Amino acid sequence: MDKRPIGIFDSGVGGLTVLREIIKKVPAENLLYFGDTANFPYGTKKLEDVKMFVFKIAEFLYSRDVKLLVAACNTASAAALDDLRSSFNIPVIGVIEPGAKAAVKVTKNKRIGVIATEGTVKSAAYDKAIHKTDKEVSVFSRPATLLIDYIEKGVLDGRQLEIAISECISPLVGQDIDVLILGCTHFPLIEEQIKACCNDGFKIISSAEETAKEVARILCLQNIENTSGVRASMVFFETGFQSRFLEIGKRFLGDDIKEIIRVDLGAQT
């Protein structure tokens, strides 16, 4: 039995989709969530800068005795996952590898689309992860910065969002994809809207759901599951002053999120 918490982090609220799926898979686990809202968005920043932010967050969570780290952000995973794994003596899980493996497993025509941040697309992280499993798959990636901005502002439905989704995904549909990876943890918040705009023409892979499956697998494999039977706790942190973290979080976590503790990462070493 291991009652230590799992640490989960993202640049904003998107990683809450991963947290929600983790709750479904391993409801007994205590969770710490960190949203770096002061530095949002990561996707338009240099990967070396993202790596610096990520290590400060990881050190903050590690100092609180987490037993596992989840980089619930595709850009953070692309920028720092390997270095995190070599720097901390606990398991570190990203969101790119689980989604890539799931997509390769279900594609029939070996044509996979990816929507992600600009940083993730430029890093070609999904291309590398997919080709690591199957070199014959063709990958078509599109940055979707506008969709992420809408979600972070709480625009989760409406005609404006539908138009943005259509403009983003139509070029991928034109490439005859049969699988679409939601390559940003924000996107599961608008998964139903994406399905509605695309007439279910392809299989959608949620990086949040696949990452939660990997978390459950690693906890079992390493024998670090919490089997105490005590009600799990959740604590939320953020760096920004004027984000809509609490408001958006309540829309899909309800009363499970009551307050956000502000942290100054500049004070961390």
Residues with Cβ < 8 Å from 122, sequence gap 6 or more?
none
Beta bridge partners of 112: 139, 179
- DSSP structure string for 130-156: HHHH-TT-EEEEEE-HHHHHHHHTT--
Quick check: is 73 catalytic? Answer: yes
Distances (CA, A) of 264 to 10, 238, 261, 269: 15, 9, 10, 11
Residue from 184, 197, 198, 220 carrying the catalytic annotation: 184
Q: Is 168 a catalytic residue?
A: no
Q: Alpha-carbon distance 52 to 230, whole Å?
A: 36
* Distance in angstroms (rounded) separating the CA atoms of residues 247 and 156: 12
Residues 6+ apart with CB under 8 A from 170: none
Q: Give the residue numbers annotated as catalytic, written as ranges.
A: 73, 184
